[in-house]
Structure formats: C-alpha cells, structure tokens
C-alpha cells in the first residue's frame, strides 16, 4: 500500500517517522547480528584449521623424536627404512647387529584420503616391527590445512579452467600447465586449497629435514 505523506497531519507524520526510525534500528541490528554470526563462523573455522595444523606439526615432531631416540640406542637392532611414495608406504626392517639378517619388519601405509608423511610412517612402521603399540595420534593425525614450501600437491585441471599463480614480479602462470604432483615452491597460488590437495607434507629436503 502506498503511503501518502502529503495527506498526513504534523502529529501523524511525527508518529509515522518514529515508527520508520524504529524499524530501521531493528533492521540494522538484525543485519549486524547476521554479519557478526558470519564473522564468528569464519573465525571459528580459521581457529579450527590452525589447531589442526598445529597438532599435526606436533605429531610429526613427536614421530621424528620417536625414531631418533630408537636409532640412538647403541643396543638397538639396526633399522632400515624403505620408503615407496608411489605406494604411499614405509617399511621398517630390523636387522641383527652381527648377522645383518632381517629379524622383524613392520609396515605403514597411508590411506588414499590421507596426506602421506614419511616421518609419521617411519614411526608407525618401526613400532610395528618392534611389536609396540602405535599411538592413536600417529594413526589419526589431522590432515594439513596450510600449504608450505616442499609440500607435494595434486589437482585435476578441467578444460578451459585456469588456476592463476602470481609472483611479486607480477608474472602470471597457468596452473593447468604445471604437472600435478609437483612440490610447492612458494608461489602465491590463488585459492590454492580450493583447487589442490596436499598429498605429501614430509618436506625432507626443506630446512634440513
């Protein structure tokens, strides 16, 4: 219904104006509340991702320390690790110090949906070779949420789909021309994890690992 303001008296206009202002206040509050909820959801997601990545980092360091501690024991059997990244497996072979014969073996295999990490794999395989319990955090480590230099990425490029890659120099690369399975070199990939998956975050050649 169209309101004819010209037909209203002064008091009627004032009352009508108050109602309009009150409606605007309510609408502004509602919109602000919705916006605040959206921001809260985004922050919650970011914090959860940070927590997952931080926890994975802790587990990787724990796995490295686990293996290093065993290997530093003078009385421990010699251990040989066989890593097959194509099959996403790590095998630990325990050999006799004198004979060199394989006494025990253990194997770790990453699930198809899991990111492969050689350090976690070594810790699992070693414990299985020793007949020790495998900590739950090794078996159920959170998936990485942050792409880092040295991570191996996988993606599927569809026809006419371009993933833009930029450097500080302003050079633009066509993401579809880069072979899936290459290591992340530090280029600024736009919406990287929206298009790609981290399939290996071992980063053995980065930072002396």
What's the pLDDT tens digit per position in 163-197?
Answer: 444 445 554 444 445 567 778 777 655 556 666 78
Residue 88: its pLDDT value, please?
Answer: 96
Q: Quick one: which of 116, 121, 122, 206 has its CA closest to 153?
A: 116
Residue 10: its pLDDT value, please?
Answer: 63
Which of 18-22, 132-136, 154-158 is predicted most confidently? Answer: 132-136
On whether the CB atoms of residues 93 and 79 are closer than 8 A, the answer is yes
Residue 116: its pLDDT value, please?
Answer: 97
**Separation between Cα atoms, residue 60 and residue 2, nearest integer Å:** 68
Residue 43: its pLDDT value, please?
Answer: 61
Of the two residues 12 and 183, the one the predictor is more confident about is 183
DSSP bridge partners of 164: 174
């Amino acid at each position: 219904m169209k309101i004819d303001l010209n037909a209203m008296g002064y008091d009627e206009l004032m009352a009508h104006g108050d109602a309009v202002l009150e409606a605007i206040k309510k609408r502004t509050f509602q919109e602000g509340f919705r916006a605040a909820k959206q921001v809260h959801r985004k922050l919650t997601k970011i914090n959860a991702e940070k927590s997952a990545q931080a926890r994975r980092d802790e587990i990787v360091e724990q796995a490295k320390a686990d293996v290093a501690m065993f290997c530093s024991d003078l009385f421990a059997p010699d251990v040989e690790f066989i890593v097959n990244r194509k099959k996403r497996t790590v095998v630990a072979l325990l050999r006799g110090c004198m004979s060199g014969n394989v006494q025990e073996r253990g194997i770790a295999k990453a699930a198809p949906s899991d990111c492969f990490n050689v350090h976690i794999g070594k810790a699992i395989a070693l414990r299985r070779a020793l007949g020790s319990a495998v900590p739950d955090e090794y078996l159920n480590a959170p998936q990485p949420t942050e792409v880092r230099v040295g991570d191996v990425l996988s993606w599927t490029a569809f026809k006419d789909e371009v993933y833009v890659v930029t450097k500080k120099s302003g050079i633009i690369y066509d993401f579809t021309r880069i072979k899936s399975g290459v290591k992340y070199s530090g280029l600024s990939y736009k919406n990287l994890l929206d298009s790609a998956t981290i399939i290996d975050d071992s980063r053995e050649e980065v930072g002396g690992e």
